[in-house]
């Protein structure tokens, strides 16, 4: 069976904000992969997502730190950028298992492929592609929870 998918065009950053608001509302926990070339908009979408959840202040790209932790209204949220991860087993040293064991944690992971095979499996895959000045976003369910999220995004249109 094909995984449920939701596609949307993001002509500008305002559209990215609208998508982030929907994601913040409907994808409240679990593991999200953010996939796309450098500059595709992974960090930008994450920034708007965290802001939609109520985060105030900076959202730094975890390019060098690999991870930025947040606590938003009591919920633990972890933003990863694994582009510079040298050895996937570093993820274990970083305590990724402990993050996952928190029942309501949300993990947003850029460059998840760099963390294989240690990186946890995704509930939702978000693929961003550049098309001139605009972006295309494809959300694909990777678990039962991800299916719920994709259905909610489809119905939010």
Interface mask toward ligand ADP for 92-111; x: CB under 6 A: ------------------x-
Residue 22 in contact with ligand ADP, rule: CB under 6 A: no
Closest distance between Mg ion and the C-beta of residue 27, in Å? 18
Among 42, 79, 114, 135, binds Mg ion (CB under 5 A): 42
Closest distance between ligand ADP and the C-beta of residue 97, in Å? 25
In angstroms, the CA 17 to CA 133 distance is 16
Question: Rounded to the nearest 10 degrees, what angle do helices 13-26 and 42-52 cross at?
Answer: 60
Nearest to 141 by CA among 40, 32, 19, 61: 32
Closest distance between ligand ADP and the C-beta of residue 1, in Å? 30
Among 1, 86, 101, 133, binds ligand ADP (CB under 6 A): 133
Residue 38 in contact with ligand ADP, rule: CB under 6 A: yes
In angstroms, the CA 77 to CA 104 distance is 9
Residue 47 in contact with Mg ion, rule: CB under 5 A: no
Question: Rounded to the nearest 10 degrees, what angle do helices 13-26 and 144-155 cross at?
Answer: 130
Nearer to ligand ADP, 16 or 142 (CB): 16
Instruction: Answer positive or negative: Cα dihedral of 142, 24, 19, 120.
Output: negative
Cβ contact 143:123 at 8 Å: yes
* Residues making contact with ligand ADP (CB under 6 A): 10, 12-13, 15-16, 36, 38-44, 110, 133-135
* Residues making contact with Mg ion (CB under 5 A): 42-43
């Amino acid at each position: 069976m094909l995984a449920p998918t939701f596609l949307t065009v993001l002509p500008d950053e305002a559209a990215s904000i609208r998508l982030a608001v929907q994601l913040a509302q409907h994808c409240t926990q679990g593991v999200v992969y953010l996939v796309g070339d450098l500059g595709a908009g992974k960090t930008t979408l994450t920034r708007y997502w965290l802001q939609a959840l109520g985060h105030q202040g900076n959202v730094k790209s975890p390019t060098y730190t690999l991870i930025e932790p947040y606590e938003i209204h009591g919920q633990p949220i972890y933003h990863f950028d694994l582009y510079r991860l040298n050895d996937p087993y570093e993820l274990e040293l970083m305590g990724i298992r402990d993050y996952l064991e928190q029942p309501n944690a949300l993990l947003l992971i850029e460059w998840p492929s760099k963390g294989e095979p240690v990186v946890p499996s995704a509930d939702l895959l978000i693929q961003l592609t550049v098309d001139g000045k605009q972006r295309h976003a494809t959300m694909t369910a990777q678990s039962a929870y991800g299916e719920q999220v994709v259905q909610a995004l489809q119905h939010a249109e």
